[in-house]
Amino acid sequence: MKSVIRAFARAVRTAPVAVVVVIVVLTSAFGAAFGIIQPETATGNEGFAPDNEEIAASERIGDLFGAESQSSVFQVIVRAPDGNVVSRAGLQAVTEITDAVMSSAGAGALVALGPGQPPVISYLAPVLEGLAADDVDPASLSDAEVQQAYRDVLTSPDLPDAQRGQFVRLLSQSADPAQASATAGLVLMFVEAPEGLGAEEALNSQIEIETQLGESLESIAIDGIEIRPFGFGLLFGDQDEFLTEVGTLFGAALAIIVVILLFVFTYRARGPVWLRPAAVTIGVLAGAGMFFGTALEGVGGVANAAAVGVVAFVVARALLGVVGSASNVTRSARRALADMALTILTIILAIVWMQGIGALLLEIGVLGSFNQVTQIVPVLLIGLGVDYAIHLTSRYREQVGNGDTVDQSISTAIGTVGVALTLATLTTAIGFLTNVFNPVPALKDFGILAAVGIVSSFVLMLTFVPALRALLDRRAERKGTLPVAEMEQAGEGALSRMIERTSVLADRAAVPTVIVALLLGGLGVWGLTQLETRFSFTDFLPEDSPVVETLNILTDEFGGGFGESTQILVEAHDGIDFADAAAHNSLVEANRALAGVPDVIAFDTPGGAVAQAESPIGLLHQLLAPGPDGASGAPPHIVELVESLELGPDLTAPAGADLTPLYLAVAEAAPEQASAVMHFDGDRIDAVLFDISTQAGESRAQELRDSLAEVVVPVEAVGADAVPTSNQIISAVIVDALASSQTQSLLITLVIATLVLMVSFWVENRRPFLGVITMLPVALVVFWTYGMMYATGIPFGPVTATLAALAVGIGVPFTIHIARRFEEDRVRYETLGDALRSTTRHTGAALAGSAFTTMAGFGILMSSTLTPFQQMGQVTVYAIGLALIGALLVLPSLLAIWEAWHRRRGDPAVERPTESVV
């Protein structure tokens, strides 16, 4: 560690130009790597799904059963919130929707579910069929006539029970079919991607098709009727909005931090009250608030324009030095602008490094993907990068103000703060890298990418920043224009004096402070045990997205709609054939049991409830179903095979029967339907698929998975593996993985970070226990933050799952800076109180400035329309604020207790002093 810091300091001192050139060349190379590779952002559950049997089954289904197994349902809600969609207007909406989609660019992808069935069906389909048979114009009917026609169809004995059940299910759950009354109904379109496409190409094709279908409906306008299209392809297509939102948040965070950095870097300057940087900063914030408020709310006016103009004038006079009498303000403002610009530039360079290195890691397989969670890393680097810059700049200014030369000050700053930053970087990177043990791939990738970004920030802050500062300040030093007087006031500003007063708790009430902190930590542990774990990929879409709103309506009014499909992949062990009687009968038993599973859509028949599912047994039932004349519609040779095999009414086969000829005949008679549910290895059926219409949503997906697992127990008993899977089940699996990983990740992070600090303080000061003391407030901050999450109703999810690493990443640098500065001050001052006051006055003030800046940067996330980012903003503000409290109140109290104990024992004041390593 010392060798690295000395190498940085030597390079900056002897060859600053070379350092800058190398940094620029590396940045160009990393930027070019990112541009050439151009990694895409994973969508939906992709990137979040851990390695398990549900994921493997989903991928295996695509391999065995092809694109037919992945066809989708495009749904259109016809809604009259204050009316009835079983009406003349509803009939007109259904007719225009059907006409529009059948003439759209996506019409070629529409497919029929079966022979004689249209590719578009609606809640009024039987009514339209009856009107067409009677040659009645739908537009000629009144509301009452439409409702009477609906009731006539619903009570007709000619309508099959299965069709009647489906017919009614296309109305909202609050509907009253007997009264022909409903506030919403569904129009369904069955979409299939072209054959021969890979998974990614099929998804892109689905997005394109559903976008075309949705666009074809935009011109339909009917009074009192809402038309809302929905498809999961449209949800994935909304990812562009996600990326746009991330860019907006990043820009806003950067802008806010720029303003606050100006305040942090100039608050010590003097001058006329109205020109003091604090006043200027308040003016800038007020003007920006008015400006953005005007832009967002659309409220114009001369007053706002004038206010912005006045603010701009004040800023120009203060920062550009138009007022000659405020020369010291001018010098301080110019230095603040330079320090701020250098900080922001370095952060941007760190982001370029992170993205370039990340792209290279993706290319060689170390990273799995860039995903929604990794998109927050740039915002994270803004916060942590600012922390590094403030501490380095503050120490450099302090040394210049104390009379050191520029080169001496840079060396001292790197040699002292650099050690703290090295420890902070190491422990922070470790905290993020503990995510490699997380079963959720997206969090693994986040941890790796965040660690890369943190290390990049560290390298740049200890090389690029001091190298440029050396080039600029050496020139000013030679000319005698270096603002030493302003720098001499380091630690004497209002913020420093305010923070210094917090040391009174450590000096006079250390034990009560620690006791209160521990009690609050206990409450935080209890809150952690009460946290709910939630995950939905729709969280990464804007709350006001029309597609998300439509999905919520489908969930509330239609139990999730008809878009949800749950599949059970059944693969036979070696030597097992599903055409054998025992295996076939197990499929019959499972198919029959599906109708009794909660959240499986079923319809009533004279023989009992039947699940709406595609399977080999369902296909046999479909082929053998009697037609209008009572005779089977199946080819004669299939009927003969069924009779010769002596299958029962429920298709149960007698023991020892071989159904291979029957299944081969079915595959020949209905090749598309058969290939979607049966896989042949020669003449042997080695895998089958149950494709079931369900309505569990994400909230009940785990219960559905468990129920379906019980249904297929008889199938597994004959020698097969059966795995239920769906997007909703995969989401439930992710929730389980997140819940099980949070404690493990927290413990690993705290233990490893503590060991690193113990080793460092043993080597540096022969005080290894100081590492434990330094980490204790960080552990409390983690638990306090969990308690705040519970108190404010924030669940544990894929973004807040990074909390342990984030809290350690934020808290450890804070406590390390305090602990190392105290090790200097306890030797420098005779009394413990003076040492504590010096530590809080100098390092505490820098911490406060860093914390306020970082809180403002992350706080902008709370304005996001993306739920995870809102939660991330809240949680990070909690963590930063609590980390500041832990560093300024709890850690000094622990240090005071510990130091007093050593002094009572008569231990030597200095085992090994803390000093610059350069």
pLDDT exceeds cutoff 80 at 219: yes
Q: Is the predicted pLDDT of residue 287 greater than 70, yes or no?
A: no
As a whole number, mean pLDDT of residues 883-911 equals: 81
pLDDT at res. 915: 54
The b/e string for 58-97 (b: 16+ C-beta within 10 A; e otherwise) is bebbeebbbbbbbbbbbbbbbbbeebbbbbbbbbbbbebb
Beta carbons of 501 and 836 less than 8 angstroms apart: no
Residue type, 346: T
d(CA 613, CA 347): 55
Q: For the segment 11-36, what is each residue's pLDDT rounded down to a tens digit?
A: 888 899 999 999 999 999 998 988 88
Q: What DSSP string describes 363-392?
A: HTTSS--B-TTGGGHHHHHHHHHHHHHHHH
Q: What is the pLDDT of residue 628?
A: 52
* pLDDT, position 856: 75
Tens of pLDDT, residues 167-182? 777 888 788 888 888 8
User: Which one of 485-499, 788-802, 853-867, 877-891 scores highest in mean pLDDT?
Assistant: 877-891
Mean pLDDT, range 394-403, rounded to an integer:
82
What pLDDT score does 724 carry?
92
What is the residue type of 703?
Answer: E
Q: What is the mean pLDDT of residues 685-695?
A: 88
807 and 876 Cβ atoms separated by less than 8 Å: no
pLDDT at residue 657 is higher than 80 = yes
Is 622:117 a contact under the CB 8 Å cutoff? no
The pLDDT of residue 521: 92
The pLDDT assigned to 323 comes to 38
- Is 568 a residue whose pLDDT tops 80? yes
- Short-list 686, 651, 477, CA closest to 575: 686
Q: What is the mean pLDDT of residues 272-286?
A: 44
The three-point CA angle 507-513-516 to 5° equals 175
The 10s digit of each residue's pLDDT in 516-564 is 999 999 999 898 888 877 766 666 666 667 877 887 888 778 766 565 7
Residue 640 has pLDDT above 80, yes or no: yes
What does the block give as tokens for 729? 């089940």
CB atoms within 10 A of CB 457: 29
Is the pLDDT score of 238 beyond 60? no
Q: Where are the alpha helices (DSSP H) in 566-644?
A: 581-593, 616-624, 636-644
Nearest to 777 by CA among 825, 824, 827, 813: 813
- Maximum average pLDDT range among 252-256, 512-516, 821-825: 512-516
Other CB atoms within 10 A of residue 159 CB: 15
pLDDT of residue 275 exceeding 50, the answer is no
Which pLDDT does position 300 carry in this prediction?
34
Q: What is the pLDDT of residue 910?
A: 52
Tell me the torsion sign for CA atoms 581, 586, 589, 591.
negative
The answer to whether 189 and 202 have CB atoms below 8 angstroms apart is no
Q: In whole angstroms, give the CA distance from residue 750 to residue 771.
A: 11
Say what percent of the chain tops pLDDT 90.
14
- 279 pLDDT band (50/70/90 cuts)? very low
Predicted local distance difference test score (pLDDT) of residue 282: 45
**pLDDT surpasses 90 at 127:** no
pLDDT of 486 higher than 60: yes
Which residue in 381, 529, 432, 373 sits closest to 812, CA to CA? 432
How confident is the model at residue 280, as a pLDDT?
43
Rounded Cα distance between 196 and 663, Å, is: 25
822, 764 contact by CB (below 8 A): no
Q: How many CB atoms lie within 10 A of CB 113?
A: 15
In the prediction, which pLDDT does 515 show? 94
Least confident of 44-53, 267-276, 397-406, 663-672: 267-276
Q: What is the mean pLDDT of residues 437-455?
A: 83
- Under the banding of pLDDT at 50, 70 and 90, the label for residue 914 is low
The pLDDT of residue 396 is above 70: yes
Do the beta carbons of residue 285 and residue 255 sit within 8 Å? Answer: no
Mean pLDDT, the chain, whole residue set: 78
Are the C-beta atoms of residues 91 and 143 closer than 8 Å to each other?
A: no
DSSP state of 220: -
pLDDT value, residue 173:
79
Confidence of residue 316 (pLDDT cuts 50, 70, 90): very low
Residue among 857, 803, 571, 808 nearest 686 (CA): 571
**What share of the chain in percent tops pLDDT 70?**
78
Q: What is the mean pLDDT of residues 178-202?
A: 78
Supply the pLDDT for residue 916. Answer: 55
Question: How high is the pLDDT of residue 540?
Answer: 66
Nearest residue to 450 (alpha-carbon basis) of 141, 89, 803, 67: 803
The pLDDT of residue 21: 93
**pLDDT the model gives residue 30:** 92
Contact 65, 675 (CB under 8 A): yes
What span, in angstroms and rounded, lies between the C-alpha atoms of 726 and 427?
Answer: 39
Lowest mean pLDDT across 181-190, 235-244, 473-482, 882-891:
235-244
- Kindly state the average pLDDT of the residues 718-726: 91
